[in-house]
Amino acid sequence: MASITIRNLDSEVKDLLRQLAAENGCSMEEQARAMIRAAVEGRAGQAGRIDQIEEKLRALTGSKEQATPVVAASGKPVPRGSLSGKRILLIIGGGIAAYKALDLIRRLRERGASVRVVMTSAAQEFVTTLSVGALSADHVFTELFDREDEHDVGHIRLSREADLLVVAPATADLMAKLANGHANDLASTVLLATDKKVLMAPAMNPKMWAHPATRRNRASLQKDGIAFVGPGKGEMAESNEAGEGRMAEPLEIVAAIEAMLDEKPKPLAGRRFIVTSGPTHEPIDPVRYIANRSSGKQGHAIAAALAKLGADVRLVSGPVNIPDPAGVATTHVETAAQMKEAVESLLPADVAIFVAAVADWRTTNAAGEKIKKVAGEGPPSLQMVENPDILAGIGHHAQRPGLVVGFAAETQDLIRNAEAKLKKKGADFIVANDVSHESGIGPSGVMGGDRNKVRIVSRSGVEEWPEMGKDEVAARLAALIAERLQTIVV
C-alpha cells in the first residue's frame, strides 16, 4: 500500500482521523488504512461497515441528521417503527463495550425511538460525548449538578421523560451502586430515582462477572425487578481473556427493549414456564461426545414466544449455536444428567415444555484423558447406559406442573407413537413432528432447519397444523397454551 501523508490532509479530515484514532486506540495512519479497507470491502457488499463510518463522520462533523439506511449489512430490510414514539434513556457505563452503545443508539433510532443519553465519567474515556450526541441528536447528560448548563434538566425529569431506562454497558460498578442504593453521580442517581422499568446489559471481565459480589448484586437487582440481557460468552476485548462477560449485541438489546415496551395483552403474565431445548452432549473422553442434530431453534423460539405473552420463562438449553432468547432466563447445560438436575431445581412451575432432543444413552466409561489410537488394539468399545427420561420424571413428579408438554420426532406411525408417549410420560400434549421424507421436510429439514410440520396429540384428539416456520409454530403453541391455562386451575 502507498504511504499516507497525514499532514497533507485537510484540517477537518485530520481532526476526524485524530478523534477516531483516539477512540480506537490506534495511530492516525492505521485508522486511515482501516477506513479505506472497510470502504473497499463495503463496496463488495458490507454495507454495515460503510454505515458505521458514515455515522462516525456525521458524528464528528456535528450533523444531527439521522442515518437512513435502506438495508442492513445482512441485506434484510431494517424493521422500522417498532419503537415508534418510545423514549429511551440510555446510560452508558465505562467499559470497552461502550463503543457498541453507538450502534445501539442508531438501531433504536432506526426503529422510531428517541434516545437520550447519560454517560458516566468513565464512559467518556471510551467514547466521546460528541459522537454520542450526534448519533442521539440530543444533548448528552454527564453531570449531576450543572447549573451552568442550559440543558440541565435534573435527574427526576430525565427519568420522568423516559419510557424505559437502559444501562449498556452495565459495569460491575454500576450494578453494585444500584444494588446497594448509592447515588453519587448522575447515572446512579437517575437509576435510584426512577420508577420506570430498567434493563441492564452487563459487560465485564469474566472473573468480575463470576465474582460472588457481582452474582449477589445481580440477584438482588433481579429481585428488585431490574431486567437483564446477556452477558454472552466469547472472546473479550482484552487479549487472552474469554468467558462469560461479553455485552449482548445491539440487536439483542433492541429485542429485549421491544419485548419490555410491548403493550399487547399479556395472557401469560405471572405464569412460570420451564422449557428444555437443544441437544445434549454425552462425553466419550474430554474431546469427543455423542450428540444429535438438534439446533435448539424450535425450543428457543417457543421460549421467546412465551416470554412475549408475558410468561416468566426458564430455559434449560443444551449446547447450541444460537443466542439466548431475549427476556428469558437461560441455564446452559451439556449432558442429560445436568439437564435433569437444572429442570428439577426450577420446580415448581405452571407449565413445563420438553423440546430438547435428549440423548437416549450415555457412556458409563467416559475416559478422563483423550483416548489414543494404539496400533493393533482396534477401536475402543463404549459401554452405554440409558439416560433418565426428564419428561417422564416431571410428568410423574410430586410437584408436577399443571400442564406438561412433550415433543416426539417420528418417521412412522406418528399418531400411535405420540399417543404411547403421551401415556407413558404423563404428558398433557405431545407435539408430534412429522420428520418422514413424505412430509416434504424430512428429518434433516426439521432438525436444524427453520420449518416444521406438527400435530398436537392430546387425550381429546389430534389437531393437524400445516407446515410453517418454527417461529410460527412457537407463536401458535404459546397461544394454545395460554388458552388452555384459562380453563385449568393450576
Number of H helices, E strands in the chain: 17, 22
User: Which of 390, 441, 447, 457 forms a contact with ligand CTP (CB under 6 A)?
Assistant: 390
Q: 7 vs 10, 31, 179, 389, 420, CA distance in Å?
A: 8, 14, 50, 71, 79
**Roughly how many angstroms between the first and final C-alpha of the chain, as a whole number?**
70
Alpha carbon 154 to its chain centroid, in Å, reads 33
Q: How far is the CB of 322 from ligand CTP (least distance, A)?
A: 18
Q: How far is CA 150 from the centre of its chain?
A: 39
DSSP H or E segment with residue 167: strand 164-170
* Least distance between ligand CTP and beta carbon 294 (Å): 10
Kindly state whether residue 347 participates in binding ligand CTP, applying the rule CB under 6 A.
no
Among 162, 201, 257, 356, binds ligand CTP (CB under 6 A): 356
3-state class percentages of the chain: helix first, strand second, coil last, to nearest 5: 40, 20, 40
Site for ligand CTP contains 408 (CB under 6 A) = yes
Nearer to ligand CTP (CB atom), residue 135 or residue 408: 408
Look up residue 489 and give its DSSP letter: -
Of residues 52, 47, 35, the one with CA closest to residue 1: 35
C-alpha cell at 119: 454517560
By CB under 6 A, residue 403 contacts ligand CTP: no
Q: Is 389 in the site for ligand CTP (CB under 6 A)?
A: yes
Residue number with CB closer to ligand CTP (208 or 462): 462
Question: Does residue 333 interact with ligand CTP by CB under 6 A?
Answer: no
Active site residues: 292
Tell me the C-alpha distance between 230 and 249, whole Å: 9
Q: Applying CB under 6 A, which part among 54-62, 322-330, 382-390, 478-486 lies near ligand CTP?
A: 382-390
Coil vs helix vs strand at 52: helix
Please state, in angstroms and rounded to a whole number, the distance separating the CA atoms of residues 225 and 218. Answer: 11
Report CA 209 to chain centroid distance, whole Å: 17
Which residue in 31, 406, 454, 473 binds ligand CTP (CB under 6 A)? Answer: 406
Task: Show contacts with ligand CTP in window 425-484 (CB under 6 A).
Answer: none
x-or-dash string of contact with ligand CTP, 157-196, rule CB under 6 A: ----------------------------------------
Shortest distance (Å) from residue 409 CB to ligand CTP:
5
Q: Among the candidate windows 46-54, 117-125, 173-181, 352-360, which touches ligand CTP by CB under 6 A?
A: 352-360
- State the nearest-atom distance from the C-beta of 348 to ligand CTP, in Å: 18
- Where is 214: in which H helix or E strand? helix 212-223
191 or 343, CB closer to ligand CTP? 343
- The site for ligand CTP (CB under 6 A) is made up of 276, 336, 354, 356, 358, 360, 387, 389-391, 406-409, 421
